[in-house]
Amino acid sequence: MKHELLRMDHVTMIRNGDTLLDNLNFQMFAGEIMGLLTGRDKGRGQLIDLICQNLPISFGTVWYDGKIVNSYSHSNGNTNRVCVIEQTSHLVQGLSVVDNLFVLRKGFKKYFINERILQEQAKAFFEENEIHVNLLKRVSSLTSLERCLVELGKGLLLGCRLIIIDNPGNFLSQYELTQFQKMLRKVRDNQISVLYIGNHHQELFRIADRTSLLYDGSIIKIFEQDEMNDEQIAPYITEWFVPGAEAEPDNEAGILHFHNVHTKHLQGLRFVLHRGECLTILDRDNQIAQDILSLLTGGETCIQGHITLDHKPFTLNQAANYLESGLSIIPKDCTESLLFWERTYMENLTFLLDRKLKKSLIPGKIYKSIRKEYSHIVGNIINETSISNLSLGEQIALVYHRIWLFKPRVLVCIQPLAKGDMFVRMKILALLRGILKGGTAVLIITANISDTLDIADRLMVVENGTCVVTYEKNEFDQVDW
């Protein structure tokens, strides 16, 4: 008989009048990997906090390991032994792995530290759990995969029986993700439970034993092993489908060419990007995005090879003024790195207008006309004076609307779907379709292809800085996930 590790029975959590978790029923057994697919981001963070910290709830009861740990009538506020692995590291960067494992934990009472003994203990523990990390390294020099493994190891060392993994596809490369998932399966076999949270159903279906669909703070469907396929989830995502745009690629010349480009992480990358075309580069090692960004923004030059824009060499000077050359970039964390939080919605939206019009003074009638045009598209938020009041989806949409207004010739997006829930992803895809329809060439660099294939015309898989395989749109069904 399966041992029930976690049970949430009719849990409702209300904060400031907003129902974040709504009559949530959730159950996890020992030794299973449960996928949690987030249809809307609402309630995701609160659910994690609730499992870890037993925050007060308005209705319902929570059992952990057979005991009631939280209920509407009483919450002792004790923390459960749960390990959370997410984008933000929970380790101290400046200390070694061993220090993080042993010294920085509750219950460590020794005043004098014998490093040799700690190292031996850590080595024995890691070998026992088949975790391979250099224990003498400082945390700051660990790779993302190593950091996750150390956090996992620390969780196991502390006796955690539930591991929560929050969107690992956002911070691990495709290769690292596969390795990490292998490790999670080993952990599961030792009767440890894993709650694997993500917003790409394909990724979750590959690893999970069961998958729950969280939507607006409620679990609306649990997919059993035999139900985890595209057909079964289709009814739940068809309402988000946005019809495709008719892009008109110029199949002859192309706008942006990479000719055998070498940098620290690029080893002879070559591709051509056409007008109105979307090319997705799957970076298996999660290393080349920064190099491509630096090349296109003037941060560095090619060691070998060259780049051409409109068949003319893309010089360092042009790169330094890349917006003037018709190039736009949306980095991974686009809201943090492209929005001005103290400025209004309109000011953020029209920030690149002076470059587009090549004027320092912009007549008021242009702003009026933009306000009128976009009020039909985005609604009343056009008058928002504080963009921090907007939802994440609206903030991300603002970034894309700004680019849409600017109409660049080439748009480079780094992991555009890394942030946000399924709704936000669909919104981003719709906006990208609009941008493509306007004739802009879009280059997507990602470590996780899941949804980007919906709009991609071509897929290039890059390993060790070089293209290992290319798929055309009609070959996407052959892509090895």
Partner 1 sequence: MNNNKQSAIKRLLGTRGMGAVLTAFGGLVIIYIAFGIIDQNVFSGQNVMNLLRSMSKYLLIGVGQSYLLITGNIDLSIGSMVGMSAMISATMMTRGISPAVAMMVALICCLCCGVVNGILVGKFKLPPFIATLGTMFVTRGAAYMVNNNRNTDAIATGIGKEAGDSFQNFFYYGKTFGIFNTFWIALVLFLVFFFLLSKTRTGRHIYAIGSNVDAAKLSGVNVVTTTIKAYLVSSVCACVVGLILCAQAGMGNMEAGNMYEMYGVAAGVIGGISPLGGTGLLLGTFAGAAVWQTLENGLNMIGAQVGIQRLVIGIIVVFSVLLDVVIRSGNFGKKSK
Residues contributing to the site for partner 1 (CB under 8 A): 297, 321-324, 329, 331, 336-344, 347, 351-352, 354-355, 359-361, 383, 385-386
Three-state secondary-structure class, residue 177: helix
Angstrom distances, CA of residue 273 to CA of 250, 278, 310, 323:
9, 8, 10, 17
- Residue 234: exposure state from Cβ atoms within 10 A (0-12, 13-18, ≥19): exposed
Place of tokens 């963009």: 387
Closest to 412 (Cα-Cα) out of 322, 346, 287: 322
State the minimum distance, in angstroms, from the CB of residue 353 to partner 1: 9
Of the two residues 131 and 349, which places its CB atom closer to partner 1 in the complex? Answer: 349
Q: In angstroms, what is the minimal distance from the CB of 411 to partner 1?
A: 13
Residue nearer to partner 1 on the CB measure, 126 or 314: 314
Tell me the CA distances in angstroms from 430 to 37, 102, 404, one per residue in order: 21, 48, 12
CB of residue 376 to partner 1, shortest distance in Å: 16
Nearer to partner 1, 328 or 450 (CB): 328
| Nearest distance in Å: CB 384, partner 1 | 9
Nearer to partner 1, 259 or 407 (CB): 407
Q: Give exposure, 314-331, as e/b (b: 16+ Cβ within 10 Å).
A: beeebbeebeebbbbbbb
End-to-end, the C-alpha distance of the chain in Å comes to 34
- Whole-number minimum distance, CB 352 to partner 1, in Å? 6
Q: Please, which residue, 244 or 299, has the CB nearer to partner 1?
A: 299
CA distance linking residue 237 with residue 230, whole number of Å: 10
The smaller minimum CB distance to partner 1, of residues 127 and 324, is found at: 324
State the DSSP string of 413-460: EESTTSSS-HHHHHHHHHHHHHHHHTT-EEEEEES--TTGGGT-SEEE
Min separation Cβ 323 and partner 1, Å: 4
Query: What whole-number distance in Å separates Cα of residue 119 and Cα of residue 230?
Result: 47
In whole angstroms, give the CA distance from residue 470 to residue 411.
20
Which CB sits closer to partner 1, 134 or 321? 321
**Separation of alpha carbons 236 and 215, rounded Å:** 10
Asked whether 424 and 373 are in contact (CB, 8 A), the reply is no
CB count in 10 Å sphere of residue 128: 9
Q: Which is nearer to partner 1, 125 or 351 (CB)?
A: 351
Q: Least distance from C-beta 354 to partner 1, angstroms?
A: 4
Between the CA of residue 17 and those of 21, 45, 47, 456, what are the distances in Å?
12, 17, 17, 41
The nearer residue to partner 1, 181 or 335, going by C-beta atoms, is: 335
Shortest distance (Å) from residue 331 CB to partner 1: 7
CB of 389 to partner 1, least distance (A): 10
380 vs 474, beta carbon nearer partner 1: 380
Shortest Å, Cβ 338 to partner 1: 5
Q: Which two tokens stand for residue 191?
A: 């009767």
DSSP string, 243-271: PPP------SS-SEEEEEEESSS-EEEEE
Give Cα 386 to chain centroid, integer Å.
25
If the CB atoms of residues 68 and 323 are measured against partner 1, the closer one turns out to be 323
| Beta carbon of residue 388, minimum distance to partner 1 (angstroms, whole number) | 8
Q: Is 309 helix (H, G, I), strand (E, B) or coil?
A: strand
